Structure 1
């Protein structure tokens, strides 16, 4: 429990520094600033794999699955890459939400900051119940595996549908239970209007982002549980991916159209982890196989996308 406590305190300190020091004054996040922070978060996430190795070699963590230090490290990195890759679709949806509610760029970081706090809580709950289900009911792996394959095939064959946040179930029901103003009031989530307190577009965008993250977690949590059911590995890799999502959003939001082939990388990854879950009781995949497949899928998707983008410019 000490390790869990220190990890959570460390995350809270990072978040406090983020909002209270580095982003105390609302400002537009430039591509340069976003790229620097993306590099910092990715570096910290990968460096944490060294902490994982140390924890599992010294016995300072409750090693529920009896993992060897190197196996635990590879599982952590693999889980982190899965969560990071599945965040790409989330970035696109966040961009649509901000555009729909006309959230100024200088306030978008504040929305994402509070959205991440909520995401951490929801992910922790989903991970806890997912691990309990897998450990208590072995058939759950078949259910999760089938769901991931279904999601992948749906992503592959379904037509691209335009997401309109203002027609979403969440927005329509929020309007029924609270007054909403169309006017921005700086970085405030609520504003006083005569005798009522109304929610600003900033708050509505935050709530919709929270709900969409829950929907995306329905894919990402089972996906990482295909790699490991160790609670600390699942939670830490999830949290590092979420923490890096904000800077990655500002870095990639305007370049997502250039990475059109990443969709097929995500499909391949979801099908692979789905099959791995279904075969979990019958066939053991070496740790390096999962890591290699996921890394190669992402590299191939990025390479094909950039090549297509270059070819289009030359044409």
Structure 2
């Protein structure tokens, strides 16, 4: 099927990185107020409550949400459970700029996952663009000093974000697999609710492991309440809706290029809210990543 990148699709795929950059900022702000897995559970539990009256079609007999439990369980695991939990875990030891720049390796993982597990063809121009993106990500991991790669001096949060990016690649490819009932696929709220219901179960299991591994606490405040409302409505519901619609229109590979806007938005927000100014190696890494996007998108 031919996929075209229209202005409305580009707007959808730009809105999601903007909201996810905000998610990285607030995740960093409340990292000492709430454990990362618990933050993810609270976020999606609130999103679930908001979706319930909107996605009532999921409870209609024949919706396929029970028969397709394997598919929705995987979507919930990769998109709701693992990706977001790993991102909040990464923000415990890494900055929003670094986390989003590491995630800018998305086109690489999207192509590799698509080729290895979903029989998507690889093009030479996309491979060259992917190598440029990899160079940008490695520059971030090395903190601007290539010799650090030889010593493997990596911040744990960077590695968690690499794992999160791989999970998101699987999620994006699973989104376009034609296994949903037409009525459920046509209703965005019901389709997202089907994923979130299973995802909250995974998130709850991860939060239970977190609390079982040692004493934890939640420092409740109006700031934390505002953060929970934002991450549930913005980066969760709105961004997932925009990303899902954009991926279905343009395909995962083209959509992955737009995810690289996230570090740009995160750098601007970090400077405004966290006073964490980007370094020269951040700018060099972003230039490499944008070069990879431009080169790869010509093939797409």
Is TM > 0.5 for Structure 1 vs Structure 2? no
- Give the number of the structure with larger relative contact order, counting CA–CA contacts within 8 Å between residues 6 or more apart: 2
Per the normalisation by structure 1, the TM-score is 0.32
Per the normalisation by structure 2, the TM-score is 0.33
